[in-house]
Chain A
Amino acid sequence: MSDTPMIDQLETGPWPSFIKDIKRMAAKNAMCKDLLGLLEMSYKDKKTHWKHGGIVGVRGYGGGIIGRYSDSPEKFPNVSHFHTVRVNQPSAWFYNTGALRYLCDLWEKHGSGLTNLHGSTGDFIMLGTTTDHLEDIFTDLSEHGWDLGGSGSDVRTPSCCNGMARCEFACYDTMNLCYDLTNEYQDELHRPAFPYKFKFKMSGCPNDCVASIARSDCSIIGTWRDDIQQDNAAITEYAKGGKVDIANDVVAKCPTGCMSWDGSKLSIDNKNCNRCMHCINVMPKALRPGKDKGAMILLGAKAPIVQGALLSSVLVPFIKMEPPYEEFKDLIRRIWEFWDEHGENRERIGEMIVRIGKGNFVEEVGLEPTPAMIKEPRSNPYIFYEEYFDEE
């Protein structure tokens, strides 16, 4: 009988099986064999058998490696130490096979041979090695042009959508900005010195394929200021072919009611369009974002711990996003200076903004308040007035 009867049941079925993959690796790697045993034990006990661990890392870096130890070293000695290496992925997860094969060979030599493609933040995750391999892994990586990603209270590895490489909706060059910011902030990425983590995510349009508005402290989402580019011949083609019911599927779904269709002509009141992307998504051949493109900067998203989950909210409604991105970096510098000074330990920037008030924050980082920053003005009368008249 198999040693792992429970997890064996995850080898069947149409979806790719991670158990099959671990077993394939276990044929030549003792760590993987013990990992299967440990996992089977979790399935039987209905609990994890991992402990977090002490600080591990490479010389000169404070992040990039996550220590991991099992609670059953006697039973499964080969995974008693099983650390994670976060390798900074290339923009938008494009690879050539030479690059991937290099990472595979390195990981075959120094670790379990198991990976996550990719981690939640975006890194190429190497899953499971021991402390004595870490310096060798890092030296080899850096000789081959790779570097570690972030962990702890630092800039986490930035990530982006595929942008202009393979999408007609991209309103700025997400992959270039991702590469540029990652390099600009190498020190902040490798040496944790912030109150808490800080994530950048870049999406080329409001469809937000990297979920930046939900998952990053600083969400950079492409948008445009002028009119949607309209190709009337292509609209006719969509309508005639019966491919799209323009009245129902496009006009009736427009959230601002800024479109009308008379059976042959589509009219858009662009001044009232809120750039939601629905009509463009439905008819990509006929409608495209405008030509005056840039990005919106939103701040503050995070998962629940501690004060509850937050979505990012608008800080800068429109900014041109072209290299060398000086205006944007200048804003980030002001934001970090303020957060450094006022952020509490383990307080994400979104939580700090809620604590001190968005109006105060906007003022402190040198921006003007605008209605685009809020859903609605306050309904409570507890206004902290800062100016008073005195009797002459």
Chain B
Amino acid sequence: MSERSERTDRLSVTEHSPLWEVFVRARRGLSHTHVGSLHAPDAELALRNARDLYTRRQEGVSIWVVPAAAITASSPDEKDAFFDPAADKVYRHPTFYDVPDGVSHL
């Protein structure tokens, strides 16, 4: 048991459970909007996790998940000097999320 947990600690789990950006279509007629991110080892799990995490209150009719590493970002109104040297790291993604229009108040 201890041997296994040591092994797990050594493995960089980040590589094995990468970051995914989640986009939700709140209602028919609206475009998909970025709602947040999550970790999952593969796309299938990412999609299931997104459903549970970001649409617990039935906020969506359709979900996209995109590997954060596959996103190329630009920040048009920022000059190069504004980019921190670490800005290319995938986990420093440009936006966390917009609060979707369909969020209910409970």
Say whether A associates with B: no
Q: Which residues of B contact A (CB under 8 A)?
A: none
Q: Which residues of A contact B (CB under 8 A)?
A: none
